[in-house]
Amino acid sequence: MIPHVELPTPPPLVHRGLFVAFEGGERVGKSTQVAALRDHLAARGVPHLVTREPGGTPVAEQIRALVLDPRHAGLDLRAEALLFAAARGEHVRAAVLPALERGEVVVTDRYLDSSVAYQGVARGLGRDVVEGLSLWATGGLVPDLTVVLDGEVTTGLARVADPDRIESEPLAFHETVRRAFLGLAARAPHRYLVADAADPVAAIASRVAARVDELLEAG
Ligand code: TMP
């Protein structure tokens, strides 16, 4: 009989900093909003780290290159989920957690919800399985705030010039991802800010900045 391996779910990780993730579909404007929040924090003199997933450390950047490479079109779906989780585990231990422990604000372009939406829901591996895998990989680190930029899939995909392995998926896949992010936000609205990606950049940025300032003041 094959033994069944149960991944222990760690309790939420406690730290002194503030962890903010940006999520959303392809080319929905995340990077612009990440940069706007970085400028806001810099202007206020708040120590911060801006990073991204997959990536953020030399090893995780190598995993990014591997997992997004369109030459690996037939990559096994479980291998894909494990690679994203491996990159995340490395990123958290080597970069995110040390900054949070120093009391900094960490802003990441994508995090765990991307795995849940893309691998768990759109790939069909199961939301809970994929979430559990990432929680195990990171030791239970969840964002204090997740900003979901919700935008028309066709608008985002039209901005993609040179599609990577995941951007090359059909429209229906990306529509499922979009719905999955909204579902995750609806599950815990106090930990999310959902913004319409079609709103003016400055309007979204000021909503995000106000929410982050509120969280910083609440300590
Ligand atoms: P980016 O270009 O927005 O940084 O996105 C990288 C791609 O990787 C994007 O198509 C979403 C995908 N992705 C996943 O499928 N699972 C994940 O866990 C992460 C972080 C990204």
DSSP H helical segments within the chain, as ranges?
30-44, 58-68, 77-91, 97-101, 112-114, 127-138, 153-158, 171-187, 201-218
List the residue whose alpha carbon is closest to atom 7 of ligand 1.
166
Share of the chain above pLDDT 70, in %: 99
> 21 - beta bridge partners?
108, 146
Q: What is the Å distance from ligand 1's center to 165 Cα?
A: 10
Tell me the average pLDDT across 47-52.
Answer: 98
List the residue whose alpha carbon is closest to atom 3 of ligand 1.
26
54 lines ligand 1 (CB under 6 A): yes
DSSP 132-152: HHHHHHHTS---SEEEEEE--
Tell me the average pLDDT across 1-29.
Answer: 88
Residue 43 has pLDDT above 90, yes or no: yes
C-alpha 84/C-alpha 54 separation (Å) is: 6
Structural contact between residues 116 and 130, judged by C-beta atoms closer than 8 angstroms: yes
Q: Is 18-218 a domain of CATH 3.40.50.2000?
A: no
181 lines ligand 1 (CB under 6 A): no
Structural contact between residues 111 and 146, judged by C-beta atoms closer than 8 angstroms: yes
Q: What local confidence, expressed as pLDDT, does residue 14 receive? A: 85
Q: What is the Å distance from ligand 1's center to 172 Cα?
A: 17
Reported as a single tens digit per residue, the pLDDT across 161-186 is 999 999 999 999 999 999 999 999 99
Q: What is the Å distance from ligand 1's center to 103 Cα?
A: 27
Range in 2-6, 33-37, 108-112 with the lowest mean pLDDT: 2-6
Tokens representing residue 91 in the block: 């990123």
What are the backbone dihedrals phi and psi of residue 87, each rounded to the nearest 5 degrees, phi first?
Answer: -60, -40
Q: Which residues in 91-103 are b (16+ Cβ under 10 Å) and which e?
A: bbeebbbebbeee
Structural contact between residues 27 and 195, judged by C-beta atoms closer than 8 angstroms: no
Share of the chain above pLDDT 90, in %: 92
Residue 190 has pLDDT above 70, yes or no: yes
Q: What is the Å distance from ligand 1's center to 205 Cα?
A: 22
Alpha carbon distance, N-terminus to C-terminus of the chain = 51
64 lines ligand 1 (CB under 6 A): no
Structural contact between residues 52 and 139, judged by C-beta atoms closer than 8 angstroms: no
- Reported as a pLDDT band with limits 50, 70 and 90, residue 219 is confident
Q: What local confidence, expressed as pLDDT, does residue 2 receive? A: 67
C-alpha 157/C-alpha 219 separation (Å) is: 39
Structural contact between residues 183 and 135, judged by C-beta atoms closer than 8 angstroms: no
Q: What local confidence, expressed as pLDDT, does residue 172 receive? A: 97
19 lines ligand 1 (CB under 6 A): no
Reported as a single tens digit per residue, the pLDDT across 66-81 is 999 999 999 999 999 9
Q: What is the Å distance from ligand 1's center to 54 Cα?
A: 6
Q: What is the Å distance from ligand 1's center to 219 Cα?
A: 31
List the residue whose alpha carbon is closest to atom 1 of ligand 1.
26
- Reported as a pLDDT band with limits 50, 70 and 90, residue 13 is confident
Atom of ligand 1 nearest to the CA of 52: 4
Domain boundaries, the chain: 18-218
C-alpha 147/C-alpha 208 separation (Å) is: 8
List the residue whose alpha carbon is closest to atom 13 of ligand 1.
114
